[in-house]
Structure 1
């Protein structure tokens, strides 16, 4: 009789598990460290029951079960939206981030007594995520902002704007995904919000993990000054700058490049190309490093750079295909040997007093103070990188007509073969 009773008890327990989990065998996972609310309450219910059933003792878990029943705990790994397709902020309203569907709505309760995981600020930890049915995808972990009030419904605006951790297709073994991440510099009570968007399906999973950060200290130490920048790849409108990186107790988050008091570029690395500069102009650049707390380093030593002409290695070919007594026809070819287009080109050369311009084509030419200035027409105002353009003109003369030897394109001298 005792053996029969024991066998019946085992069968009942197995049957209970099948009733609770059989319908959700394809549900896929949730954060187990730091524990999501559903997982933490599931474990709390197991501990409170002594085995077989789920009887939470944590007050927040007890209320969640009173509102939504025990099935969300048996299915603690199924907090999902099947057609999310990355539209998380569009389809999940404020106050429903922790349980975006009716089944898990009770886990949105704004309470300060959910089970918590103790974590250490700035620590590198191993995040663990259950994998009932592994799928490829990307995980993002956000943390609530400083001053967040856990007794108020969680809103999207309560989260820091960028995730402190993001990983695609992390390692999976023994029924779990696991990967290393550096926790943010926080203190006190917070929520870590996890999103898992599958890449093979529009399905996405959500979880809130209640944590208490210890070891957090205000970051008042600025980064060290960056090394002296080195200029390269100088053109008429841009220059590449590289510099030795700064160091910081929590890490550098951004570099700012200054010309005088103006920020002209920013970079997350110790290299950047400054664009939008003026041709044939001297610039002095310095670099400042910032950390995530906004502490700014001393400025680097400066580097002075003169931009090119905007035309790079320009070459002018001047020829006179036709001459006669009292005049000639001239053809001019401009070659842009740089890697950048020359915008709104202007070519200037000496124009002797004994010459008089009578006509021109493929350009507009003006003469003043012994100089001729040619500008491109509407259809050839720019010279492509590595490209050429040509124009011509007729001149009446009262004397000799030597070929000009000095040409400047947008203010910089060009070579003459």
Structure 2
């Protein structure tokens, strides 16, 4: 560049750089840098949406092929992009007190209601399981766990028409402390179930009083 070139000719380049940086901050996947974790198998509701549509979110086919993800996307796109941030802080173990009936899948409308659509009953995509299966929780931030609690909805509860409540659940697995690890598997044994059910996982992270509340939809074949 000529040293005597007027400074004003460089200002448009500076303005473009600032605009590019601002647009980068608006990219929907930017928040995933603040990663935490979730159940990826059987996929949590919002992880499943991200897995199926994260690289195809503008496809209008989502409305017909995956209507529950579509309604969640319409409510708040960050429910899908921030699939690993569905938690509450300061619960002190009082999970029922912190999360009301009908709001279990949104962790009591945590994140200013970002995940409210997770509570909507409907035809959520399911993962086929047998009576015995393994819940795989991905701990992206290596928080570790004070404990994991895994519940399965009782026979007779219908996820397609009823919002989930505490009395709809049966505790089927519980762990003690788990050191930081990228994956935390929990073996589950059930019986007497068929059709669409909800697996409800509570992950009490060990790095702080941070409680994750995770709904996964399964089909007992």
1:40 matched to 2:58: no
Write the deviation string for residues 278-330 of structure 1: whole angstroms up to 9, x where unpaired. xxxxxxxxxxxxxxxxxxxxxxxxxxxxxxxxxxxxxxxxxxxxxxxxxxxxx
Higher Rg of the two aligned structures: 1
Q: Which residue of 1 aligns with 2:151?
A: 142
Write the deviation string for residues 116-139 of structure 1: whole angstroms up to 9, x where unpaired. 000011x2x332111121113211
Q: Which residue of 2 aligns with 1:260?
A: none
Q: Confirm or deny: 8 A CA contact 1:30 1:130 kept in the other structure.
A: yes
Q: Which residue of 2 aligns with 1:203?
A: 210
CA distance in 2, matches of 1:58, 1:159: 25
Q: Would you identify which runs of 4 or more consecutive aligned residues in structure 1 move more than 2 Å? A: 15-27, 53-57, 168-173, 175-179
Residue 202 (structure 1) shift: 1.3
Q: Which residue of 2 aligns with 1:213?
A: 220
* Secondary structure in 1 matching 2:104: coil
**Corresponding residue to 1:31 among 39, 49, 57:** 39
Scaled by the length of structure 1, the TM-score of the pair is 0.42
CA distance in 1, matches of 2:164, 2:217: 12
Return closer, same or farther for 1:17/1:210 CA change in 2, 3 Å cut-off: farther
Write the deviation string for residues 145-171 of structure 1: whole angstroms up to 9, x where unpaired. 1111211111111112xx211123447
When the two chains are superposed, the root-mean-square deviation of aligned CA atoms in Å is 2.3
Larger helix proportion of the pair: 2
**Structure ranking higher on relative contact order (CA contacts 8 Å, 6+ apart):** 2
Larger strand proportion of the pair: 1
**Corresponding residue to 1:182 among 174, 184, 188:** 188
* Structural mapping, 1:160-179, within 5 Å: 160=170, 163-170=171-178, 175-179=182-186
Residue 198 (structure 1) shift: 2.0
CA distance in 2, matches of 1:145, 1:178: 22
Scaled by the length of structure 2, the TM-score of the pair is 0.77
Q: Which residue of 2 aligns with 1:297?
A: none
Residue 187 (structure 1) shift: 1.5
Question: Mind listing any 5+ residue stretches in structure 2 that lack a counterpart?
Answer: 1-19
Q: In the comparison of the two structures, how many residue pairs are matched?
A: 189
Residue 24 (structure 1) shift: 4.9
